[in-house]
Amino acid sequence: MRKSIVLIAAAALLAGCGGSTSTTATKSSAAPSSASTSGTAPTAEQTAWAGGVCTATTTLKKNVEGLASAVTSGGSDVSAAMTAQMATIKTSATALTTAITAVPAGSEGDPEVAAIKASGDEFKASITDLEAKVAALEGESGMSKATALASIGTAAGDSLSKLGATTQAIKTAAQDGKSTLGQAFAAAPSCSALTSK
């Protein structure tokens, strides 16, 4: 009986020591993590890159929204209007793709780059699909035209959704104080509309 009491007392003492050790560990580990919440400050080139990505994202979003509203407005010359708007979308999609891939030298390994590039690949595929749907509208009339317009509306919605993933990746990056490019997105004036939503 006496032996078991000694063991229980020893276990209690060890548990007490363990608790104080973990408290000390928590305190000591908290200090470095708060100190590392901000990484290296971005260069002017990195901030300019982030601003370019945000500007291109905003422009492409407006252009796709313009196509989506043209679907509902209809009109006799809707095919020509859609084709012209699609050309504008392709130009702005290329601008965004170019902006995303032109990561400043030395920043390729930044943790936020992969997510933004991945979202860029997704919207590129959706823009290709949207372009095919717009091309299919050419020469259609009656019910076939209505079906083609509905298909364009769906594809435009998908493109906006994929572009939303890019916007979310930018917003997430801007909240990452440890990422240099994340800080660049937070600092670029043209990103404020995307990161504050």
Q: What is the pTM of this model?
A: 0.75
CA 94 to chain centre: 17
Phi-psi domain of 10 (left: phi exceeds 0; alpha: psi -120 through 50; beta: other): alpha
52 located within any domain: yes
Whether residue 38 is contained in a domain is answered as no
Same-domain check for residues 26 and 55 = no
Structural domain of residue 190, as residue ranges?
44-195
- Total count of domains within the chain: 2
Q: What is the pLDDT of residue 21?
A: 41
147 and 181 in a common domain? yes
CATH code, 167: 1.20.120
- 145 and 82 share a domain? yes
Are both 11 and 82 inside the same structural domain? Answer: no
pLDDT tens for the chain, residues 1 to 197: 444 433 333 333 333 444 444 343 333 333 333 333 456 889 999 999 999 999 999 999 999 999 988 877 766 688 888 999 999 999 999 999 999 999 998 888 888 888 898 888 888 899 999 999 999 988 888 899 889 999 999 999 999 999 999 999 999 999 988 889 999 999 999 999 888 86
Average pLDDT over the chain, rounded to an integer = 80
| Residue 37 within a domain | no
